[in-house]
Amino acid sequence: MSDVSSARQHTLGDLPRRTAQRVPDKVAIIDGAKRLTFAELEGYVERTAAALAEAGLAKGDRLALLSHNCWQFAVLDFAAARAGVVLVPINFMLGADEIAFILDHSGAAGFVAEDALVPVADAALAAAAEPQVRVRRVIRLLDAEVPEGWDDLTGWLEHDGPAAVVPMADDDPVRMMFTSGTESRPKGALLSSRSLLWQYVSCAVDGSMSADDVELHTLPLYHCAQLDCFLGTDVYLGATSIILPAPDPATVLRTIAEHRVTKFFAPPTVWIGLLRHPDFDSTDLSSLRKGYYGASPMPIEVLRELQQRLPDVSLWNFYGQTEMSPLATILGPDEQLAYAGSAGRASINVETRIVDDEDRPVPSGTVGEIVHRSPHATLGYYRDEAKTAEAFRGGWFHSGDLGYLDDTGHLYVVDRKKDMIKTGGENVASREVEEAIYTHPDVAEVAVFGVSHPRWVEAVAAVVVPRVGATLTADDVLTHARTKLAGYKAPKYVVIAEALPKNPSGKILKRELRDAHADLGSSDGA
């Protein structure tokens, strides 16, 4: 790297150092009893980056991370980027086979796991077809003994010596985020510092974020929404982040009051949980000023209730996807009710349009595929040139979502082109669930789709046709699915049917199934 390039470098790994130089003594992260100033956060990042290199992880190597929310997660995010190592966050709800696929596909050379998750990590390593992991570290959140075959992450955090300077270009990959995808297997979307930092700017500008924020982070940091719309942006700006392991409503309410939290993001399911909690009205929430939601649409009645019960909180709707790092469009506070149900307008660094099946722009009010052009966009899918080319055809990133723009440029998402189900803020690919159910020997046909749900907003439902002569119950299907899939992917509702509706070419008509079974979400049984 030339002297000019070195002087101009601005990457994810540089952010903690630059913020520490501005506000070294300000509190950066609170995680239980652990409080880190920005100077202390920078110290951990620098030492860990040095330790990664000493462990033999070089620029471009992949480091898998399987953990619930903790301050160490934040350190590893920035330290890996500083060392040039590509971080691969893994959904902690996945099973061993699902994790094994990610380890294999990413070619992870290192693996960091929370102590409580080491058993599933070990099972994943054993199930991996081509294990390449040579470095294993454990985050000892339970303060238990270090498991056999693993080393303590503390050794990296307390490493002696500064990190070597690793030249990083704007579009060198620093993150591999696995999408839930529309296929039976997820895809690894590569994100660069350019993708992430421009996205941070968009979040800060259009989301009215500032260094004065005190933000509560409760959604999983393996999700780029919590990690990059919020935690990364807070470190960039110099705001204070409070980390909780999960969005338990009672704990969320208590923490907002205790720490005078000003800013909070959650999918609609979590906001609904807060509103329904018996402590909501008796908790001092007067410090809260900014509320954000995303991952799935906010029911209009819930939106009205939020504005009535939290009248001093400004609300934003963030819409996007992993491949957009993840922000694409924003609906601002002054538009919540006037444009209820809208995903807003393209954020400051994004251009959004609607196209038809031939990728031609369509007039306002016409439903088509939502496409974007932005520096936020992924570099592409790892080891999948064909899917990358398909997603970026014509010089626009194709989201796979269907929607329309009104005359004011507001986006309305009307369907998911690839039958993605968003349940409780988690993406579930219907095809993956279908393939798992198809492994039951008594299943002839299955169609999986989403139905409205009062708590999860959308729930996974399956209509199953048994093989001729077989006796198959809904409970049989549910039990089988739960042995093959993470809990949130398994159907919440199963209907046994004689046949599936199809068009003349044999394509299953899922829209008819959604309409016919729209009331499933209000029932209790399988």
Q: Cβ–Cβ contacts within 10 Å for residue 262, how many? A: 19
Contacts of residue 42, Cβ cutoff 8 Å, sequence gap at least 6: 16, 17, 19, 20
Token pair belonging to 36:
């880190």
Q: Give per-residue burial for 300-327: e unless 16+ CB within 10 Å, then b.
A: eebbeebbeebeebbbbbbbbbbbbbbb
pTM of the predicted structure, to 2 decimals: 0.86
pLDDT value, residue 435: 81
pLDDT at 180: 66
pLDDT of residue 420: 75
* Mean pLDDT to the nearest integer, 100-107: 97
The first and second tokens of residue 376, run together, are 């936020």
In a domain, 249, yes or no: yes
Examine residue 316 and state whether it is found in any structural domain, yes or no: yes
Confidence class for position 503, pLDDT limits 50, 70, 90: low
Same domain, 367 and 255: yes
Whole-number pLDDT of residue 511 = 81
Q: Are residues 103 and 227 in the same domain?
A: no
pLDDT value for 455: 87
pLDDT higher than 50, residue 505? no
Residue 298: the pLDDT is 82
Q: HSE (CB half, 13 Å, CA atoms) of 507?
A: 6
Residue 241 confidence class, pLDDT cut points 50, 70, 90: very high
pLDDT reported for residue 131: 82
Per-residue confidence (pLDDT) for residue 398, from 0 to 100: 97
Tell me the mean pLDDT in the region 184-192.
Answer: 89
Q: Which helix (H) or strand (E) segment is 381 a member of?
A: strand 380-381
Q: Which helix (H) or strand (E) holds 301?
A: helix 300-309
- Residue 153: half-sphere exposure toward Cβ, Cα within 13 Å: 27
Average pLDDT for the chain: 93
187 belongs to a structural domain = no
425-451 per-position pLDDT tens digit: 887 878 789 888 989 999 988 999 999
Which residue has tokens 């809990």? 487
Work out the pLDDT band at 182, boundaries 50, 70, 90.
Answer: very low
The pLDDT of 79-86, averaged and rounded, is 98
Please tell me whether residues 131 and 93 are part of one structural domain.
yes
pLDDT value at 506 more than 80:
no
Q: Phi/psi of residue 320, each to 5°?
A: 175, -155
Question: How crowded is the C-beta side of 10, counted as CA atoms within 13 Å?
Answer: 9
Helix 71-83 to helix 38-54 angle (10° resolution) is 60
Q: Is residue 374 located within the same domain as residue 286?
A: yes
Q: How far is C-alpha 58 from the geometric centre of its chain's CA atoms?
A: 26
CATH code: domain of residue 254: 3.40.50.12780
CATH number of the domain encompassing residue 501: 3.30.300.30
Residue 383 belongs to domain spanning? 196-416
d(CA 342, CA 364): 14
Percent above pLDDT 90 for the chain: 79
Average pLDDT over residues 155-175: 95
* 353 lies in the same domain as 481: no
Is residue 131 assigned to a domain?
A: yes
303 or 212, greater pLDDT: 212
Side-by-side strand order, sheet with 493-496: 443-453, 457-466, 493-496
Residues 246 and 362 in one domain: yes
Label residue 183 by pLDDT band (50, 70, 90): very low
Residue 358 predicted with pLDDT over 80:
yes
Share of the chain above pLDDT 70, in %: 96
**3-class SS letters over 88-119:** EEECCCCCHHHHHHHHHHHCCCEEEEEHHHHH
| DSSP strands (E only) in 106-213 | 110-114, 135-139, 151-152, 173-178, 188-192
Q: For residue 102, count other CB atoms closer than 10 A to its CB.
A: 24
The DSSP bridge pattern shows strands 351-355 and 345-346 to be: unpaired
Domain end residue (candidates: 388, 416, 444): 416
Confidence class of residue 468 from pLDDT cuts 50, 70 and 90? confident
Q: Are residues 412 and 449 in the same domain?
A: no
Q: Which of 463, 465, 431 is nearest to 445 (CA)?
A: 465
CA atoms of 452 and 88, how far apart (whole Å): 32
Residues 433 and 318 in one domain: no
∠ Cα 46 48 53 (to 5°): 100
Query: Residue 31 domain-assigned?
Result: no
pLDDT digits (tens, 9 = 90+) for 273-332: 899 999 999 999 999 999 999 976 787 888 989 999 999 999 999 999 999 999 999 999
Q: What is the pLDDT of residues 391-414, one digit of tens each?
A: 999 999 999 988 999 999 999 988
Tokens 């920005």 correspond to 38
Tell me, yes or no, whether 143 and 104 share the same domain.
yes
Q: Which two tokens stand for residue 11?
A: 């990457």
Q: What is the DSSP letter of 13?
A: G
CA pair distance 329, 389, nearest whole angstrom: 23
Please give the tally of structural domains in the chain. Answer: 3
319 and 297, same structural domain?
yes
Residue owning tokens 């980027």 = 81
Residue 434 contacts residue 477 (beta carbons within 8 Å): no
Q: Mean of the pLDDT values across residues 243-251?
A: 96
Give the pLDDT score at 185.
76
**Nearest 5°: phi and psi at 281?**
-75, -20
Q: Is residue 9 part of a domain?
A: no
Q: Which of 177, 98, 183 lies closest to 418, judged by CA? A: 183
Show which of 365, 392, 416 is a domain's final residue.
416
Identify the domain boundary among 383, 416, 449.
416
How far is residue 452's CA from residue 490's CA, in Å, rounded to a whole number?
16
Using CA atoms, how far residue 317 sits from 223, 331, 407, 490, in Å, is 17, 5, 19, 28
Q: Is residue 285 part of a domain?
A: yes
Residues 219 and 349 in one domain: yes
**Nearest CA among 142, 141, 106, 139 for reference residue 124:** 106
CATH at 92:
3.40.50.980
Cβ atoms of 281 and 287 closer than 8 Å: no
pLDDT tens-digit readout, 258-275? 999 999 999 888 898 899
Rounded to an integer, what distance in angstroms lies between the CA atom of residue 312 and that of residue 37?
29
- Give yes or no: residues 213 and 348 share one domain: yes
Residue 355: strand pairing partners:
361, 369
CA-wise closest residue to 288 among 337, 347, 334, 242: 242
In a domain, 8, yes or no: no
